[in-house]
Amino acid sequence: MGRLHLPSVFTTRLRFGRRAAIYAALVLLILVFVSLIVSSGHWLRARRIDLTADRLYTLSPGTLQIVDHLQRPLRLTLYFSEHATRDLPKLRSYEQRVRDMLQEIAARSHGHVQLQVVDPIPYSDDEASAEGAGLTPAPGGSNGERVFFGLAGSVLPSGTEGEAVEGTTPERSLAIPFLDPSRESFLEYDITKLLYELNQSSKPPIGVISSLPVEGNPVLGQQPWVVMQQLSLLFDVKAIDPDHLKQVGAGIRVLLLIHPKHLPADALYALDQYVLRGGHLVVFVDPDAELDGTPGDPATGALPDHSSDLPRLFAAWGVRYDPHEVVLDRSHALTIELNGANVSHPAMLGLDAQSLNHNDVVTASLQRIDLSTAGHFDLAANAGARLIPLLQSGPDAEVVPVQRVLQASDNPSLLLQDYKPDDTRYVFAARLRGTFASAFPERANQPGHLARSAADDEVILVADTDLLSDRLWLEPQTILGQIMLRPFANNGEFVSNLVDNLSGSSALLSIRGRSTSQRPFTRVEALRNVADQKFLQKEQELERELGETRQRLDELQPGKGGSHAASIGTEQRQEIEQFRQRQLAINKELRDVQHQLNAEIDALGLRLKMINIVVVPVLVALLGLLYGWRRTRRTRRRL
């Protein structure tokens, strides 16, 4: 009998040995797994996989090119008020998005970018450091605290890559004062631009050709226009004389052409070739430049010509522009003071956010641009380029001859007589993007002549020069005995953003706006849209019945006789009571629609919860049990 139990004892020991080996393997696997999780934060940072629908966490090729070519050690400090934002979940979520992108950039930089994250606690040295770096705090934090959420960048001394940054004095500093969540689609561009500017050792050179006194007149004590003063803080501004211009230097990052009038042929050819070589040209033309001091002809009595045009180049680029037309827009007309009275001027426009292209990095954060006697652009029938609007009129606009505007200068209300809107949104400023042909084919034999540009070349067109003048966006204020200029429009920022955008490298310009990290519930939004349509129909029905009832009540006004008046009064009361009953019924139907919408949303939410909380875990558990059952059967068969 004892020999009959030997196989059973052997089998039991074998099973025990296998179980011990399995448990030991599980313990070893857990240790290895935990070690991998802990260490992956360090050596897998640059090897993450982006599975988001719009690849939000994948750096664009332009960013990779700029990061890979960094020559100077940089320090980025992200200031974020943790305590002050504890009740602001959207801002905290966006901060995580910003931090992830910064970590991705730091990992890619191979030590050139050192990242710090600082919580500027109130009344601390970190808060003082944030303000000193140029960050702008926002109100509205918990307990009234200020919220810091910005990025400061510094250039460190050479040889500090990968070293500790404490106590290191930066050579140069720049900052993004506040990381506005409304600019999330341009987050990568803003950060990459900061890196690009920090990596530059000097101010980028830009050129200016202007027939207007934008640089002021030192002899007369006239200061440069504020727009030019702002540009000189960020760029090395070089004035160029068109009468002696043969070629635009290759070092000129951006060329501003302001109010071109009677340019020599050589200057036009230099501009033509500059664009074809990939140069960044910004053209400001105007049907009536109000600061143009060109006098009229006393002998003939002709009015002075204050218009500007670039006909030969515009024709070659496929651009339509009439220097004798001005756009009126009564829906955006500015109110001006004239002869002691406030007058609406339809040729002086205050463009609001709806008239700005918020999908373009230049105008994304702007709220208002003021124009005066502006023209408009369009594409010719044979144009090979695209016109991407930056500034547009509203549909309630019309085009009139500039002569009519000049004649109404003393009484702008005359421009509203016989006003006939064209139901067209006229383009005041735009990017012209495409392949351009030379406007000077007859000079093909000249050395270095280019006949065509590369694909996706770009020119910026603006049909107004008055927006550059101080009076359209600045007003003087006396503060503590000092005269200060307060901006009331974003004209200066518009010009600075244009030059800032174009002065970067081609890699920087290739970074376009991206999707945001906010993922709406499309099914819920569809349900809400259907309910909104139902509400709209009910509201229209109520409005229609209300109008009909009021009309009926007007018809039932009391007459002369007393008994007749009494009978009409009774009829009125019946009409009123009927309307009230119908109004209550419609309100009930509105509530029913809302309840139905809420019920559908709740049902959808319940289904999602059931799938996530019950169905998926049950499926995983069933698969695990099935797998374990099959393993057990195989083991028993072997034994």
User: What letter would DSSP give residue 246?
Assistant: S
User: Which residue range forms the structural domain that includes residue 380?
Assistant: 205-293+305-323+373-393+424-509
Lowest-pLDDT choice from 285-289, 421-425, 561-565, 615-619: 561-565
State the average pLDDT over residues 292-305. Answer: 75
Q: Do 312 and 279 share a structural domain?
A: yes
Q: Which two tokens stand for residue 209?
A: 């050709």
| pLDDT at 66 exceeding the cut of 70 | yes
Lowest-pLDDT choice from 21-25, 474-478, 582-586: 582-586
Spatial separation of the C-alpha atoms in residues 119 and 181, rounded to whole Å: 19
State the average pLDDT over residues 225-241. Answer: 93
User: pLDDT for 308-328, tens place per residue?
Assistant: 999 999 999 999 999 999 999
Which of 96 and 52 is assigned the larger pLDDT? 96
Q: Which two tokens stand for residue 371?
A: 């124009």
| pLDDT at 564 exceeding the cut of 50 | no
pLDDT value, residue 480: 56
Banded pLDDT at 572 (limits 50, 70, 90): low
Q: Do 246 and 383 share a structural domain?
A: yes
Banded pLDDT at 565 (limits 50, 70, 90): very low
| pLDDT at 389 exceeding the cut of 80 | yes
Tell me, what amino acid is at 220? Answer: L
Q: Do 132 and 67 share a structural domain?
A: yes
| pLDDT at 4 exceeding the cut of 60 | no
- Count CB atoms within 10 A of the CB of residue 82: 13
Q: Would you call 347 helix, strand, or coil by DSSP?
A: strand
Spatial separation of the C-alpha atoms in residues 220 and 228, rounded to whole Å: 18
Q: Would you call 189 helix, strand, or coil by DSSP?
A: helix
Instruction: Provide the whole-model pTM.
Output: 0.68
Q: Do 172 and 245 share a structural domain?
A: no
For residue 560, tell me if it sits in a domain.
no
User: pLDDT for 238-268, tens place per residue?
Assistant: 999 999 999 999 899 999 999 999 999 999 9
State the average pLDDT over residues 162-186. Answer: 76
Q: Do 482 and 535 share a structural domain?
A: no
| pLDDT at 337 exceeding the cut of 90 | no
Q: Do 432 and 450 share a structural domain?
A: yes
Lowest-pLDDT choice from 282-296, 306-320, 528-542, 595-609: 528-542
Among 68-77, 300-309, 477-486, the range of highest mean pLDDT:
68-77
Q: Do 461 and 315 share a structural domain?
A: yes
- Count CB atoms within 10 A of the CB of residue 29: 10
pLDDT value, residue 183: 83
For residue 349, tell me if it sits in a domain.
no
**Measuring CA to CA, which residue among 390, 514, 502, 391 is closest to residue 457?**
502
Spatial separation of the C-alpha atoms in residues 491 and 247, rounded to whole Å: 30
| pLDDT at 518 exceeding the cut of 80 | no
What burial letters (b/e) apply to 573-582, b meaning 16+ CB within 10 Å?
eebeeebeee
Cβ-contact 123, 48 below 8 angstroms: no
Q: Would you call 114 helix, strand, or coil by DSSP?
A: strand
pLDDT value, residue 54: 56
What share of the chain in percent tops pLDDT 90?
48
Q: How far is CA 350 from each of CA 166, 292, 339, rounded to the nearest angstrom?
A: 49, 22, 21
Indicate the number of domains in the chain.
4
Q: What is the mean pLDDT of the chain?
A: 83
Q: Do 499 and 458 share a structural domain?
A: yes
Spatial separation of the C-alpha atoms in residues 522 and 534, rounded to whole Å: 19
Largest CA distance in the chain: 140
For residue 477, tell me if it sits in a domain.
yes
| pLDDT at 88 exceeding the cut of 70 | yes
User: What letter would DSSP give residue 328?
Assistant: E
Q: Where are the beta strands (DSSP E) in 323-384?
A: 325-329, 333-338, 341-351, 369-372, 378-379
| pLDDT at 222 exceeding the cut of 50 | yes
What burial letters (b/e) apply to 225-260, b meaning 16+ CB within 10 Å?
bbbbebbeeebebeebebeebeebeeebbbbbbbbb
- Count CB atoms within 10 A of the CB of residue 370: 21
Spatial separation of the C-alpha atoms in residues 359 and 267, rounded to whole Å: 34
Q: How far is CA 521 from each of CA 55, 527, 605, rounded to the nearest angstrom?
A: 19, 10, 11
